[in-house]
Each structure stands twice: as structure tokens, then as C-alpha cells.
Structure 1
């Protein structure tokens, strides 16, 4: 009896712990220091140190040694990181993985970019990204795959294969050209050279494809390509996070870290920062990435002094950053946006403003993270809010904190002035609304009060007949769109109200962009009308507005974006179709970064987006963009477009901005009825 009771108690305890109690945590750590078919001047020093530093950090996080696979040269007991071995290790890891598991895919070494005509998905800059394995050889032609390289499309396929098995994937790329490494090619980038004295040199990760020389295979097996990743159903990246050492056009350094330490050894900057941030025991991926960014300023400042002509890297993160660290869950631990802030005296400047949904006098919670990971917080009210920044006084309770503290701010609630105002016959709202800040919905009762702002929407519960929605605000209607709609059930009602709430915010956001400053120099966004392969007409979206002629029979719409600004662009393109459903255009997967690649007048980054749904009265298209200053946070403008099971998927980048960013905002919809076909 006693044994039976113990077994029952144990069973109950396991049920209380949850479904993840038996989930495994595994990692594949790949570090490539030596490129055996290439000159030693192109080799690196730190990847072998990086994988061991990361391995030790994972063991402290609860990973077990047998569940950490290391492929690295110069590491005792590790297999060599050749291209076939990397793919085989990924295959074994996939075969081991089951629903509920967690995997880390970590890569440290050189990256390269070149034009790859075999890719189905072409990057805006036309270049493909590759991680260079130990046995990499030069490409034979400009449109061929790189022998010994692991392609970005292969990484994307492997990630999709894990996600299809309900495995949570964390990817870390401590390599150059990193941001597009998971995206399904004459490359820029600097020649990898060692700079500085021998006892404190800095090596740069990143090679041109033209630098790589070919080499004859040494064995029959080496001549064949490694096995391709398995084909998998593409699923939303709800269980996915990735950290990248740099944007797609940048290189990243390795140097002795920590600085001015007698025990310092060559390390990749991103790896060193990730390990340091893990020691602070963050609760979410966003907290971890914010911790990573806090390690960068002193190192970047030093490198900027030593190498003033180098463009230093801006780390980028993507995916469900609000999920709990090292857990297999798409549920966000917190969905409040968090913005970095910089202190000057008794004032903090936030890297967010009106275009992010902040309002003057809005209440925020300020947090100061100390070097040991201790967090102090207090509430405060914004002094002012500009287009892309805001200021707040440091509360008296936090003024004595050390200058080494890292500051951030989060809104306590969405601004009421931006909320969708709903009047209902019951004075209630449907439960479980899912909205990205600052979009929100508020009930304004059953009848208007004296002096109250008018309602935007009237909702009537029809019982078994469904729900009637009447759009009262002219700003939320387009063309000949019906003002009244009957929806079949509560789920459809929620989706419609969520779409209208986002549309109200986007409408106000596009109004902020009206005027001479509503542009990004060098950025062109053009709405094109095609008939078959013939371009019929086109017009810049910022001039199109409501005057755009509807489509004729056989015509289709596309959006062409061309970035020749010389900067990366933070861009979001979203739409609402004629039925009120939300459409993601860029990024098309909310788990991916919204940083549009850098282009110049001589080599612009360009991409065309087909819009098959943008054809009927009532459909709308919103284009939002701002220049991405070095070491700045990618900006989503509060425009998370689609609920894919990953609440509040937001992208964050890094550090501080030097000046106000140019901002572009435009909304396009059809005017009147379509003319007759010719």
C-alpha cells in the first residue's frame, strides 16, 4: 500500500510539472577555424574556442554532455566540421528529436556571399549566404553551388524539418553575412585579414567567393554532394528564435575577450556576449538578447577607434523572442514591447516614439539592469514623444544607480486614443482578443455619453444568427466597401475586430507620414499593374492613395521595392483584403526579420511582391519603413499582421541611434469601381 501511494504521488507530481518534463535538450555546435583547401591567411583562431565556451555554458543551463554534439577542428574528441559531417550530424539530431524537444543549432566561422542562380527565393540584394565548412572549395561558375559550403536554403530546410516535428529551434550564427543565413550571389565584404599586434590581433569573419580557390577531391566519396535536408511541410515559426552576429552585408570580429584580462583568448564577439548574458539567468529570449547587446558598447567603441574605416556589426534577432528561455512553447511569457533607453543626467531617451505608438504623458515602466543581472524598476510618465524618440525623467528611486546600468522601458498599457472604440448592445467585448501593441479595443458602452468621442464600430449580438458589425468611422472604410457585415461566430467576430483595431492604428500611423518628411532617401515603393508579362502602369505608393485606378479584367497588382539608400531598411508591408482578413507581405513569415537589405545607387537591393488578394474594393496595402542606423533596433511599427500561434513576434536589433531616422508611411486602396476590360 505504501509503495502504491508513493507511485500515485509521483504520478501526480509529474503531471503538475507539465508536458515538458520528459522533453530533451540537445545542441549541435559547429566551429570551423581551418579551411584546409585555402591559404592559412584565411583561417580563423576563435571558432574552436567558441564551441567549448558555448558547451560549458550549456552544461550550466542543464544540458547533459551526451546531448551536445561538437564538430570542430582543434578540439579533442570532436569530429571535423566538414560539409558532409555537418549535414549528417543535423540528420542524426533530427532523427533523435521528438515533439516537445529543444535544439540549439550553433555555427561559428566564416561566411561568404555570391550570386546563386539555383535558388528559388532570391534575396533583395540578389546574393546567397553560405557557411564555410572545413573542406570548402572555390565555385566553378558564378551560378553554381559552393563545394564545401552549407547554403542558406539548406539551413532553412533543416530548421523547417525540426519545426515540423514540433521542436523548438534556437539558431546562433557567429559569422559574417549572418542575417539571411536561414533564408530560403559577386559578393561584397571585406577580405579576412588579421589587424593589430600579434598579441592582440583582430580577425574578421567574411570572405568573397572569388577569394576561395578550388581543390581536387581527395577521395571518391568527397566528390559527391552531402545529402540534402529532408523535405518538410512549411509551418509557422512559432517555436523558433535566431541570433545573428551581423546584418547580411556586414562582417563580424573575433578578438581576445574579455578585454584587458590576463586569461583572455580569441573568441567570437557574439558568442562571448551570449555566454555572458546567459550567466544573468534571463527568463525570455528577449531578455537574453538585450543582455547580449549590453556587452557590445565597450568592445564596439574600442574597435571603432582602432579601425575607423570598418563597418562594425549590428547583431540581429528574429523569432518568438517573448517565449520562455529553453522551453518548448509558443506562448509568450510577456507580450509588452520593450525599448532600450539611454541615460543622460536625470533624463532617459527612448528609442521609440509616435510611430511606435507612444504618446506624450503616457505611463511606462522603467527598468535598470545592473552588471550582475539585478533589475531595479519604477513607473514614470513620458515628458514628450517625437516621431521616433521619447524622453522621460529618471524617477527619484533610480537616480543613484550606477552609470553602468542598462536601461529599458515598457508601456503599461496601449494609449486609449489609439484604441478601436466599440459600442455594443450589451456593453461588452468578446474575450481573448490577440493584438500587437499599440492596437487595442475598448468598449464604450451601449449609448454615447455627453462629450464622449464617437464609436468606431457598432456590434450587435444576433444570437444563433451570428454577429452584426457596422463600421461607423469613415476612416475605416474604403471605396464601395459595405459598412455592415454579419459574421457567423465569435471567432470570426474577434478576427474582424482585431483587423479593424490594427487598421485604425495603421491609418493614424500613415497620417503621421504625411508631409515633406514622409520619405526615406533612396527608397522607392511602387505599385505596379501587370497584364500577363506586360507592365500596364505604375505609381509610387506615397502618391497613389485613394486615387489609384482599380484593376481591369486580367490585370494583377504587385509591389516593387528598391532600396538604394546606402542603409539597411526596417520595413513592414501588410494588407487587409476585401473580407477584412490580414495579409502579411513583408516579412511573409512573422518569425523572420523585417530588416530589408542594404543597397546603393550602383547596386540597389530590390524585390517584387505579388499581391493576388489586392484586387477588390475594400482591400488596403500599408507600407512602413525607416532607415536602420548602425546599432539600432529593427522597428516593426506595432504592425504584427497575422496570428500564427506565436503571440507578439517582434524583432529587436541593437544599441543606440545617432540621429533621427527618416520614416516612410503610405496606405493604398482602390477608388471607385473597376473600369471595363479592354
Structure 2
């Protein structure tokens, strides 16, 4: 009887863990000219539906909102919000939800947002009944704003639901965080099979003879509930078809197939990658990017003046696919590599924690999903790339579609060296490449932990002439050692990049008193005129990008108590891809630093131009164990030998004993 009861409880508990999906495809904008309509979204939702059924989703748990699809509801704005509300009401702790959107996107200036985008523009998904005011770029109805999506995602996360979202739209990146330079859709003849998913707001008609739309006709009956507190995005993943300033194509796929039909490029790539049975979201994203080269190369020849889309991923990519588990399957970074003869070139380098002669594991993924692996040694490590020989056991492979490389261990050169008489505390948790190792020689140690007291020995880590040991039990020592290990890696990052130049990017350190700017200066050249702060003053960092390129940016700090502070991205589940800006329309963002208020405060700013067709990089500066996707180029060409530009700055409170190095 007891065994039967246990079995029933197990079955009952499993029944509550459900996989659900909402698939939205908008092909027809019924209030707009047919020249703006799309062909593929109705095909996309059916392709995605069939793929999810193969992944174990039940038919009854997949909701379709798409025009031109038998049995599906129409994807009007209110219908989409109501479907999201029903999905939320059904969802329980432990469930998994996929939110998928295929169609047009646009960008608008929205000054009412709580979270202001660096370029001042907000991303919007256009529902079937979208209307706009002719000649205006900031009046729309029948659209779903990025703040709407953020609200729904926060509501699901508050219920302990794992949320994955896929946006096969233009202006997709940051669609979940809530210029007129978005390119027009058409570039070829009207009957061209290649269509672009991107509209300027000024292209959208009001549908009422040019009059402003009546908000009452499209009022939202449902709005996303607002959780009492922001929920960390540990159970969250998102795949975007493009960066915020880009548009993405739909065309007949697969190419040169008699059965090809119009599909969104990201949707088709996701479904194809799923067929290779990836274990994690990172594996899936790697598979997506591996499918892009031939299509991108073809489009580059046909549309030589257009910037082609760079897919972006964010969130806990190391979590298992279609499951509600926050712990990562693996937290080791995985880097994309290109093969040329017997040489592999990694799209990662010293900025990512690679050093020459480091042991690595090489993974070769074949067309059928089979993976072969072998160990090798890194031959050369440069600032932004590295090279190694193809291991002998893999040299005969000719059909490998994807080469990946992962480290076998953290580099000893950046490890925090600890003289610990009682052994290291258990439970240390660090982001690669930071690590902690024990040493026997006190002269070679950065830190000494003895008799329940912790003493910092290295000047780089803040040790001064008057530094004294502080009491530290195992729990206190563990937390402090983790921070010191991160700090040592941050110092190394700064050393690597401090002499590099990044044209068009700057970070200005400002001192404010109330609403009055007292003084300011470049974060790269802090002097006694800026710091220390005086009574009533506060620190602000102002970041500005006018490089005409997207930027991979991280801003991290150490507070006076030795705690790690993640400034940008604030939530490790969000991408650190900072938006593109130009001299005419800069991308800028201000960061309040209330914790930067006493001796011991430190701030690191590191930025590099984003490589085309790559995923954002965190440079090993994450405060929690959620890694970014690997840096990937999909055109198949090796990066040029010249080093990538970089910006690096370290701000230290005046009086800190550790000099800039």
C-alpha cells in the first residue's frame, strides 16, 4: 500500500511538470498595404509545431495564433495578450514554456520606459491589426512592445517556470527588455522570393484615411502582471534572429530543394539544429549558427549593401533543452573554431582566459550529429584569437560541420594562489577562467588562510603596508576567496587590454551632488581631481558608443566590503551586446554606482567591437555560473590577423594601495 501511494505521488508530481508553447505567426497586416505582408510566418509556426511534437510536446499544449493556418486563432494584439494570460494561468512551478514569434518588427522612441535602451529606441512586434499614424514614428496600436514581453516573462519566472523565447523578427535583440534608421523591407523586385522582416514605423498606415488610430478600438483587455520584485533570469533563454538595428530574411528553404517553401531563416535553422538532438541551449545555438554560412554567403552576393543579421542568444544557455532546470549541464566555456589544413583558429584569446600551452579538448560535430573528440595543446594565444594544431586522431575528418574547443582546466597563470594550512573551504563557485589553488610557499601566495584568519598578501589585490589578517571562518573565507579570484582575473583583463584603443567608444566617470554635475573625466584617466568623493557626492558612469558598430561590453565592480557588483549587464541572464550608435545618433547609458563610496571600491570597464555573426562575450566576468554563448562567425572566413580594438579602464578609490598595472 505504501509503495502504491509513493508511485501515485510520483506520477501526480510528474503530471504538474508540463511543456507548453505559444506559437505566433503574423503574415498579413490587414490594416496595411499588401506590399508589406510576409509569406513565411504561417509556414514557420507549422514547422516549429511539428518540431516540438518530435521533442515530446503534446498537441493540446501547443497554441497557434497565425493567419492562414487551419484551426489557429488570428494573431491580433489583444488575442496574443489573452493567449499569454491563459498560458500563465495554466503554468505551475516546474513547468516549461516556449514563446515563439515570427513576423515583422520595428523600433520606436519610447521615453516612458523604465529601462531606457542605449539608443533610445524600443523594439516592437507587429500584430495582425497594427496601425500607425502616417508621418509619425512614435504612434502605433496593435503592437507588442519589448516592455510587454519583459512583463510576461517576469510573470512566468515568478511562478518558477522556465521560459524560452524565440523571435524570428527584425530588431529582435532586446525585444525582451523593456531609429528611424531601420532599413526598408524591399530591395529587389516585388516578386523577389527574399523578403525582409523589418518596417519603419512611418511606413505603417493608420487604416482610417490617415487619421490617428482610436486607442479604444485596440485597447488591451489583458496586460502582463507585475511581480513584486524582479526575478533573476536563471530559468530563461532567448534566441533572436538579429541585433536591434538589423533585419532578417525569409526565403525558400532549404536552398536548392524541390520541396523548399518560404521560411524565416532563424526558424528553419532552429528546426534543423533540433534534428541533431542537442543536449543544451548552447548546443542548439551552435547548431543554428553552423547552418548560416551558405545562406549568408548567397545573400551577401545578392544584397552587397545590406548588413546581414547576426543571431543573438542570451540566458542560461548551458541548461538542458526544454526542461525546467536552472543548474547548468556544464559551465565550461565552448569556443567556435575554424579549420584550415591542420590548424584550428579559435574565435577567443587572452581576453577569454586562454594562454599558450594550455590543454584543450577538441570536439568535431559531424553532419549526422555524431561528435568525436580528442585532446590537444594551444600553440599560440593572441588578444582576441588563438591557434592550435588539429589533434592527430581528428585529422582524417573531412565532413566535420562544426569544430568546438573547450578547456580541460583553468589556466594556472590567473589562479588565486592560497597558502591554506587547513585546506581550501568547500563549495567554491567561480566563472572560468578564475580559480583558486593551494601553494606551499608563502612567498608565492596571493592570500594566506591560517588559524581562522585571512590575510591578503598581493598588492594587486589590495594589500598595503598596514594590511592585517581578518577573522574568517570557512564560509567567510570561501566568499572572500571567490571575490579575490575574480579580482585577480579582472586585473589580468585590464593588463591585457589597457593599451588598446577603441575609436568611437568612451566611458566617462562623473561625480554628482544632487542634480548637479560636480566634475567628470575619462574612466581611463582617473586622478586626484575626481576622487575621493566628498560628503553628499555620488558616482555615475556614462558610457557612449558612436563607433557605428555593436559592442560587447562588461562593467563589473568590487564594493568596499569586497563584494562583486555586476553593473552591465545587470542581470546575468541578459545579453551584454551594447547597441550600435553613430556620431549623429549615439548609443549611451548612465549607470548609478551607489556602492562606489569608500576606499576599496573598484570598477572595471571592458569593451570590444562585436564580431559580425557572433554571440556576445562576457570575458569570464560573470558573477554567477551562467556563461555566454561562444563567439561564432558563420561566413566561414577566418578573422584577419590584426587584433580587435578594445577599451579598458579600471577606476580605483583614491588612497587604494594597489596601483594600476
TM-score normalised by structure 1 residue count:
0.92
SS at 1:542's partner residue?
coil
Where does residue 476 of structure 1 map in the other structure? Answer: 461
- From the superposition, tell whether residues 131 and 652 of structure 1 become closer, same or farther in structure 2 (CA, over 3 Å): farther
Where does residue 584 of structure 1 map in the other structure? Answer: 566
Shift in Å at residue 519 of structure 1?
A: 2.0
Question: Any residues of structure 2 matched to 1:9-24 within 5 Å, and which?
Answer: 10=7, 14=10, 22-24=16-18
Residues 194 and 201, structure 1, Cα contact 8 Å, conserved in 2: no
Residues 498 and 647, structure 2, Cα contact 8 Å, conserved in 1: no
Question: Any residues of structure 2 matched to 1:122-521 within 5 Å, and which?
Answer: 122-139=116-133, 146-184=140-178, 186-193=179-186, 195=188, 198=191, 201-216=193-208, 222-232=217-227, 233-426=229-422, 428-445=423-440, 448=442, 454-462=444-452, 468-477=453-462, 483-487=468-472, 489-515=473-499, 518-521=500-503
Shift in Å at residue 203 of structure 1?
A: 0.2
Residue 525 in structure 1 maps to residue 498 in structure 2: no
Where does residue 465 of structure 1 map in the other structure? Answer: none
Cα separation, 2, equivalents of 1:346 and 1:652: 22
Cα deviation 1:73-126 (Å, max 9, x = unaligned): 000010000000000000000000000000000000000001112212110000
Cα separation, 1, equivalents of 2:419 and 2:400: 49
Cα deviation 1:178-213 (Å, max 9, x = unaligned): 0010012x4221111263684x61000011111111
Residues 457 and 463, structure 2, Cα contact 8 Å, conserved in 1: no
Indicate which of 627, 630, 634 corresponds to 1:649. 627
SS at 2:338's partner residue?
strand
Cα separation, 2, equivalents of 1:319 and 1:79: 30
Cα separation, 1, equivalents of 2:218 and 2:63: 25
Cα deviation 1:294-341 (Å, max 9, x = unaligned): 110110011001110110000000000001111111101000000000
- From the superposition, tell whether residues 133 and 223 of structure 1 become closer, same or farther in structure 2 (CA, over 3 Å): closer
Where does residue 676 of structure 1 map in the other structure? Answer: none
Shift in Å at residue 483 of structure 1?
A: 4.7
Equivalenced residue count is: 648
Shift in Å at residue 648 of structure 1?
A: 2.6
Cα separation, 2, equivalents of 1:102 and 1:368: 31
TM-score normalised by structure 2 residue count:
0.94
Cα separation, 2, equivalents of 1:478 and 1:242: 42
Where does residue 618 of structure 2 map in the other structure? Answer: 636
Shift in Å at residue 32 of structure 1?
A: 0.3
Cα deviation 1:12-32 (Å, max 9, x = unaligned): 9x49xx965640000000000
Residues 130 and 151, structure 1, Cα contact 8 Å, conserved in 2: yes
Cα separation, 1, equivalents of 2:17 and 2:466: 50
- From the superposition, tell whether residues 472 and 223 of structure 1 become closer, same or farther in structure 2 (CA, over 3 Å): same
Residues 548 and 669, structure 1, Cα contact 8 Å, conserved in 2: no
Unaligned ranges ≥5, structure 2 = 657-661
SS at 1:120's partner residue?
coil
Cα deviation 1:348-406 (Å, max 9, x = unaligned): 00011111110000000001111111111100001110111110100111111125521
Aligned-CA RMSD value: 2.3
Residues 34 and 73, structure 1, Cα contact 8 Å, conserved in 2: yes
Cα separation, 2, equivalents of 1:220 and 1:655: 44
Where does residue 4 of structure 2 map in the other structure? Answer: 7
Where does residue 639 of structure 2 map in the other structure? Answer: 658
Cα separation, 2, equivalents of 1:128 and 1:218: 20
Shift in Å at residue 599 of structure 1?
A: 0.6
SS at 2:234's partner residue?
coil
SS at 1:667's partner residue?
strand
- From the superposition, tell whether residues 545 and 169 of structure 1 become closer, same or farther in structure 2 (CA, over 3 Å): farther
SS at 2:525's partner residue?
helix
Cα separation, 1, equivalents of 2:273 and 2:609: 28
Shift in Å at residue 143 of structure 1?
A: 8.2
Where does residue 659 of structure 2 map in the other structure? Answer: none
- From the superposition, tell whether residues 22 and 228 of structure 1 become closer, same or farther in structure 2 (CA, over 3 Å): closer
Residues 106 and 199, structure 2, Cα contact 8 Å, conserved in 1: yes
Cα separation, 2, equivalents of 1:605 and 1:85: 34
- From the superposition, tell whether residues 248 and 175 of structure 1 become closer, same or farther in structure 2 (CA, over 3 Å): same
Residues 529 and 557, structure 1, Cα contact 8 Å, conserved in 2: yes
Residues 108 and 138, structure 2, Cα contact 8 Å, conserved in 1: no
- From the superposition, tell whether residues 421 and 546 of structure 1 become closer, same or farther in structure 2 (CA, over 3 Å): farther
Cα separation, 1, equivalents of 2:339 and 2:527: 40
Indicate which of 511, 522, 546 corresponds to 1:564. 546
Cα deviation 1:577-598 (Å, max 9, x = unaligned): 0000111110001100000000
Cα separation, 1, equivalents of 2:328 and 2:455: 33
Residues 92 and 161, structure 2, Cα contact 8 Å, conserved in 1: yes
Shift in Å at residue 571 of structure 1?
A: 0.4
Residues 618 and 627, structure 2, Cα contact 8 Å, conserved in 1: no
Unaligned ranges ≥5, structure 1 = 463-467, 674-678
Question: Which deviates more, 207-216 or 287-296?
Answer: 207-216
Residues 568 and 627, structure 1, Cα contact 8 Å, conserved in 2: yes
Indicate which of 594, 598, 602 corresponds to 1:620. 602
Question: Which deviates more, 547-556 or 580-589?
Answer: 547-556
SS at 2:89's partner residue?
helix
- From the superposition, tell whether residues 220 and 234 of structure 1 become closer, same or farther in structure 2 (CA, over 3 Å): closer
